Each structure stands twice: as C-alpha cells, then as structure tokens.
Amino acid sequence: MCHYQKGTKNEVAFVFSCPGAAEEAANKPAAGRTGTNLHQLLTILSQEYGDNIEWSREAITITNAWSQVEYRELTGRTEATVREVLTEENLTRLEAELRPVKKLIITSGGRAALVVKALQSAGTIDDKVKVLQIRHLGLRALNQIKVDVRGEPILSVADQLAKDHSLSSPQAGRENTMKRLKVVAAEIGNKLRK
C-alpha cells in the first residue's frame, strides 16, 4: 500500500499530501526525495528529541491526505483537490488510519494540514494528541528556508562553491538540505516543548 504504513508504535504519525510516482514505484509512502528527507529528519529528531518518542521509520505511522497516486504523467496533476480530500469517504479513511496514534500527528504540506484540521474540528482526533504543521519535505518547500538553526544564512550552492572550491555541487546541496532539515527538527522540538 503506497499511501499508508502503520508504525510499530502508536506515538507519532506523519501525514503527507498524496503518494506520487516514487511511492508507486517503491510501494510505500514517503519514498524518493521526500522519503530521503524524512529519514534524515527522523535521524535528527532521534538524536535531539529522542527522550520520550521513538523516531524510527518503523515506529511511526506514515499516511497521506489522499490515498490515490497522483503525478503528472499518470493523472495530469500532483495532488488531489481540496474538495476531494474533504469528502466523507476520504476523511473516514484517514481518521481510521490516525485513530491509534496517541502522542503526535505531524502534517507536511497544505492538503495534509487541511484534512487533519477537518478531523480535529469534527472531534475525531483525541484532544490529547498534539498536531503540528511543518512545511512539505520536498526540496521546493525546504529551499525556502534561508537561515540555519544558529541564525546564519544558508548560502546557495553556487555561493558555497565560489567560497569553498573543495566542495562538489551535490555535496553542497546535501549540506544545505541537512541544515534546512535541522531547522524543521528544531521547529518540531520547540512545538513539542509547549
């Protein structure tokens, strides 16, 4: 099932927008670049905020605001419409997938935040479960983060290469992504403390 993976623990769920081509090919949710970034984010969270929560991919539940695969070559679009994700059938499906989660639901992207808020408004998510919204874990959204956790500017790959000739372009890009994921992890950690 490429839209849903039940975790071995009932502590944390990540909700993304919908499975795409990478998820379809891997037959699991959060594959491809999003999956790589999720893995790195979970590693950071485990190191920094692992006292009370197990942050392994196996432990967390991963699902999507929309269960159907969407990508341009297949459907002509990259995600479902607002109307589609808010259908009773879709909300019922998502509520059943999230029902076991007891601590934290993290939404990644606008459609994910929308459907989880709809479930909260309907009273189908336990009030004890924290809901946090983060930006989508794709590069387009992550690249909007311009400052690292220390408040230092994150240089573009081109500026990094001009400054440090020993770096390769892929290496500089990976370093930038890691800096941005540390910012997302810090945002999650700060919200967890509240």
CA–CA dist 170, 179 (Å, integer) = 14
Find out whether 98 and 115 touch, Cβ atoms under 8 Å: no
Q: What's the pLDDT at 123?
A: 94
What average pLDDT does range 92-113 have in this prediction? 96
In which residue are the tokens 């997938």 written? 97
pLDDT at 126 over 80: yes
pLDDT at 49 over 80: yes
Torsion, Cα 51 36 75 17, to 10 degrees, reads 20
What average pLDDT does range 162-181 have in this prediction? 90
Q: How many distinct structural domains can be found in the chain?
A: 1
pLDDT-above-90 percentage for the chain: 83
63-102 pLDDT tens trace: 999 999 999 999 999 999 999 999 999 999 999 999 999 9
* Domain span holding position 63: 12-139
Assess if residue 4 is contained within a domain.
no
Assess if residue 46 is contained within a domain.
yes
Assess if residue 49 is contained within a domain.
yes
DSSP-derived 3-state class of residue 165: coil
CA–CA dist 19, 25 (Å, integer) = 10
Give the pLDDT band (50/70/90) at residue 27. very high
Give the pLDDT band (50/70/90) at residue 104. very high
Give the CATH number for residue 63.
3.40.470.10
pLDDT at 13 over 90: yes
Assess if residue 193 is contained within a domain.
no
pLDDT-above-70 percentage for the chain: 100
φ, ψ for residue 104, nearest 5 deg: -150, 135
Selection from 194, 169, 183 nearest residue 45 by Cα: 183
φ, ψ for residue 153, nearest 5 deg: -65, 140
What average pLDDT does range 34-42 have in this prediction? 96
Give the pLDDT band (50/70/90) at residue 121. very high
Give ∠ CA 182-111-49 in degrees, rounded to 5. Answer: 25
Q: What's the pLDDT at 95?
A: 97
Give the pLDDT band (50/70/90) at residue 157. confident
Assess if residue 155 is contained within a domain.
no
Assess if residue 94 is contained within a domain.
yes
Assess if residue 78 is contained within a domain.
yes
Assess if residue 104 is contained within a domain.
yes
What average pLDDT does range 164-187 have in this prediction? 92
pLDDT at 194 over 80: no
Longest CA pairwise span in the chain (Å): 55
pLDDT at 1 over 90: no
DSSP-derived 3-state class of residue 186: helix
